[in-house]
Amino acid sequence: MQSIRTDQGDQTSRVMPDATHKQLRIATRNCGFIDPESIDDYIGVRGYQALATALQAPPAETVAIVKESGLRGRGGGGFPTGLKWEIASKNKADQKYMVCNADEGDPGAFMDRAVLEGDPHSIVEAMAIGGYAIGASKGAVYIRAEYPLAIKRLKKAMDDAKAYGLLGENILGSGFDFDIEIKYGAGAFVCGEETALIRSMEGQRGEPKTKPPFPAQSGYWAKPTIVNNVETYANIPAIILNGADWFSSIGTEKSKGTKVFALAGKIRNTGLIEVPMGITLGEVINEIGAGCPGDKKFKAVQTGGPSGGALTSKDLDVAIDYDNLIAKGSMMGSGGMVVMDEDDCMVSIAKFFLDFTMDETCGKCTPCRIGSKRLYEILAKITSGDGSMEDIDKLKGLASVIKDTALCGLGQTMPNPILSTLENYWDEYVAHVQDKKCPAGVCSALLTYSIDPKKCTGCGLCAIVCPVSCIAGAKKEAHSIDASRCIKCGSCYEKCKFDAVLKS
């Protein structure tokens, strides 16, 4: 057997970050460039050669390369992938499993779907590499049933790989067998947590359990199991082909390589971006994203979805990596980046995410099941104008308790949107409870609409769109709103061409 390290072939592919282009595409290297339904297209970009390379050396060498590369789990937690593989490879068992977590559930995140739809073979190949590394002959992709096109393309990729002998028995004459099956998820957010995912795969309720034992010790059917995210897998073939030293030379000291983000919300260039770790938030928002539309002022960005927190306009020079985001009270998460501008109310945003986690809690542990409901109720009270300073204290106290006591990652991180907005936007909370005002003009219960008689031309458009007919006035004369009947829907505000409707 020879060493993998000698076979790095074409050195021109060892691309490095480029200051003028900002983005560096490793995980999404083939998306949009090859036909995802053609295995030949993938073979033409050295597809399955990383697997072939790995098969030429002992499995421990693949584990060592992944470890040296510094790759960390791209699903959110950031656990070192090589270390995970090493633990599973050292555990002796008659059967081990390689699982791909494609249960992408963060609101606003869709990078896993993009990779599965644009480059499914890279996942098939990477799972086989992982299987060889840890000694697993079976793999499973846990994918949400809401992704029919991704499933179709993945299935085709698996069938074609089998027909070519790149999956199945005795792959490339090496004696290594590996096969993959697809398991469908029903789209429960908690099933992105690996122990819940494994239970769901076994046909049980998707509920997490305490760790240890970790899945790498005892997972699917109590066998050593590796659960890696789609994006993590997508990096593996590139690491094998280009070498660990190449990958580890990209990024920051503790976060290597790139991260794919789904840039969404109040940003001009919405889209998928892949950037080297360590890029600043400002570069992402102002250069790649081209700022907020309508020249509104950038206010904050929620990273890590409902488990993360807000980075604010003060954090534009923060270098994005796993540790810096945690230090800022947020987290990397799977890579959703929801951008907010000056018109967004941070209390409402926190309420939105709590509404999501309240729906998605599995109900197994009390802090999460009941805590999420109580947090949501307090936020609803504040946004409807009935809150007090005591409520804010209660919110803070309860959030800290849940963070410390919930069973799994979903519960432990669920208070993050509240804690981080309390930290960064304390004044907004206070304005809601003390002044009964929503500074961003979002919380409808705290708004009053009126018409400026000087600007009103009496065109009557507002009266026509008002769903409760509470606007009156003679033609070509200033109109007025009957505040007692106004439902604060904002239709008149949006319709008025003369900026005569005032919101306060």
Contacts of 20 (CB under 8 A, 6+ apart): none
Query: How far apart, in whole angstroms, are the C-alpha atoms of residue 4 and residue 66?
Result: 12
Q: State the residue for tokens 């470890």.
A: 67
Query: How far apart, in whole angstroms, are the C-alpha atoms of residue 132 and residue 240?
Result: 13
AA identity, residue 30: N
| C-beta closer to other proteins: residue 229 or 235 | 235
CB of residue 117 to other proteins, shortest distance in Å: 5
CB of residue 176 to other proteins, shortest distance in Å: 13
| C-beta closer to other proteins: residue 165 or 453 | 165
Query: How far apart, in whole angstroms, are the C-alpha atoms of residue 80 and residue 96?
Result: 19
383: burial class by Cβ within 10 Å (0-12, 13-18, 19+)?
Answer: buried
CB of residue 302 to other proteins, shortest distance in Å: 17
Both tokens assigned to 349: 């945003």
CB of residue 18 to other proteins, shortest distance in Å: 5
Pairing of strands 258-265, 138-144: unpaired
CB of residue 116 to other proteins, shortest distance in Å: 9
Residue 484, number of CB atoms within 10 A of its CB = 6
Contacts of 296 (CB under 8 A, 6+ apart): 266, 341, 342, 343
Both tokens assigned to 345: 């109310």
CB of residue 48 to other proteins, shortest distance in Å: 6
CB of residue 289 to other proteins, shortest distance in Å: 9
| C-beta closer to other proteins: residue 241 or 354 | 241
| C-beta closer to other proteins: residue 234 or 407 | 234
C-alpha 476: how far from its chain's center?
Answer: 52
| C-beta closer to other proteins: residue 148 or 363 | 148
CB of residue 36 to other proteins, shortest distance in Å: 5
Query: How far apart, in whole angstroms, are the C-alpha atoms of residue 268 and residue 293?
Result: 5
| C-beta closer to other proteins: residue 50 or 407 | 50
Q: State the residue for tokens 């998605």.
A: 360
| C-beta closer to other proteins: residue 20 or 484 | 20
CB of residue 471 to other proteins, shortest distance in Å: 36
| C-beta closer to other proteins: residue 53 or 312 | 53
| C-beta closer to other proteins: residue 163 or 472 | 163
Report CA torsion sign: 298, 303, 307, 312.
negative
User: Are 261 and 337 a contacting pair, CB within 8 Å?
Assistant: yes
HSE-up of residue 492 (Cα within 13 Å, Cβ side): 31
User: Are 267 and 285 a contacting pair, CB within 8 Å?
Assistant: yes
Binding stretches for other proteins (CB under 8 A)? 10, 13-18, 21-26, 28-29, 31-37, 40-41, 43-49, 52-53, 55-56, 110, 113-114, 117-119, 147, 149-150, 153, 160, 163-166, 172-173, 238, 241-242, 263-264, 268-274, 288
Query: How far apart, in whole angstroms, are the C-alpha atoms of residue 347 and residue 285?
Result: 22
